[in-house]
Structures are given as structure tokens and as C-alpha cells.
Amino acid sequence: MKKITIKNLIDFRRKSDRSKVTFLNNLKAEKSLQAEGGGDYWVSCVSAISNSFKENDKSLLNKKVDEIHEKLAHATANITKTQYQRNIIILESFEDFDLDNVKPTSDIQILKQPKEKSIIQIDGLSIESKPSHVYSFSENGSDEIAAIWFVAKLDGYDTNELGMFADIIFRYLDRHYSSKYYVNKSFCISVDVFTGRKVRYADLENGSVPMLLDNTIAQINKLKAN
């Protein structure tokens, strides 16, 4: 059985009952499960935003906009032009986003993410967790770890869907790093670059955002059993 991304799970939740069965059949056949806007469609804007966070330099967004404008000027296919234009729109709108609001005040150290750690087994399913950045920092003498995930989808994710990304971030960190670090739930954050919405794992824990990950996996397992 192939790995399942959080985008796949969200796509599954959005489908009709009949389409959910088709999804499951593809899953059993280990076919590729591509969510809408998958692949590298949003790579230009997401990578630039991710680098901006890492380097603490929002000027990188403007540089990427200039690069994409250059590509756009030479593009001939309408689908490619639309892709470039959408990435530009996101980058220009994201310039108003406060990156300081989604990172601790302490200095952070970006950590490597071993590929072999990216898959988490949950109730028999292989769920992929690949945040944009995992980082450590010290707060009041405590060695802490956190992660941020910049995600993109046409028209954006709703708050509940973003909660699924925040959920898997926390589980990923808790499983692989909790023996050495305190997992800071307020900085396990998913950010929708299309809308600017953000969700912290702390929002799930306090009940302001529902936990949908286990419920979604249970739906899949129930269909598998039929």
C-alpha cells in the first residue's frame, strides 16, 4: 500500500460516498493518489515562502516574483501562464503575512528531516509527514522542537483541514524527537499560503479546531472492511 499524504486525506473527505470508494480502490491497487493542484504546481511560491521563513528575509518573496515574471514573459502555453500568475498572486499577497507570528522569539536552528522518518503508521495506514521546516530552539532553559508547514491548494484549505496538517506535525515530532526535546504545541503550525490562514496544534488540543485525522483514517478503514 502506498503512502498517503494529508492532501490525499483531505481530498478523500471532500469526495462523495461513491468517489470515496474509488479512492479506496486506487489505494488498494497502490495507484498514485494525486490531490488537486498536486506535484510542483505551487512549488515557486511555497519554496520562496519557506526560504523566507528560514532566512528571516521577506525580500526573497520579491526576488521570486521577479523570477516568475521573467518566466511568464517567455511562456507560451496558457496552462503554464496561469500557473505562474497564480504563484505570483500568492507571493504578492503573502508579503503582508507576519512571519514573526509563526516562530518563537528565540533563535531557531533548522534541522534535517531524514526521509525514512517521514512515514508514520496510524491504524494500519502509512501517513506522510513532510513539514517545510523542523527546528529546535531554547526557551527559558528548555530545549524545544517545533515545525511549520506551508501548504497550498487552489482556493485554499479551510481551518479544519489545516488542523489535519498541524495534527500530523505534532505526531511526527512527538514520535521522533520527544525523547530529546519538549514538543512545543503552539509552534506546530500549518499555514495556508493561498489564504493566510494558520492553525496550531494547540488549537486542536484546546478544542477550537476539531481533530479530523483519526476520524478520516477510521472512515477509510471502515470502507476497507466492507
Q: Which amino acid is at 153?
A: K
Please tell me the predicted confidence (pLDDT) of residue 66: 97
Q: What residue type is 56 in one-letter code?
A: N
% residues pLDDT > 70 (the chain) = 94
Distances (CA, A) of 162 to 144, 188, 223: 23, 11, 24
Q: What is the pLDDT of residues 18-76, one digit of tens each?
A: 899 888 887 677 655 544 444 479 999 999 999 999 999 999 999 999 999 999 999 99
pLDDT at 38: 45
Q: In the chain, what is the straight-line distance between the N-terminal and C-terminal CA atoms, in Å? A: 18
pLDDT digits (tens, 9 = 90+) for 73-130: 999 999 999 999 999 999 999 999 999 999 999 999 999 999 999 999 999 999 999 9
What mean pLDDT comes out for the span 145-150?
98
pLDDT of residue 35: 41
Cell of residue 173, nine digits: 515530532
| HEC readout, the chain | CCCECHHHHHHHHHCCHHHHHHHHHHHHCCCCCCCCCCCCCCHHHHHHHHHHHHHCCCHHHHHHHHHHHHHHHHCCCHHHHHHHHHHHHHHHHHCCCCHHHHCCCCCCEEECCCHHHCEEEECCEEEECCCCEEEEEEECCEEEEEEEEEECCCCCCCHHHHHHHHHHHHHHHHHHHCCCCEEEEEEEEEEECCCCCEEEHHHHHCCCCCCCHHHHHHHHHHHHHC
Q: Is 144 left (phi over 0), alpha (psi -120 to 50) or beta?
A: beta
pLDDT at 211: 97
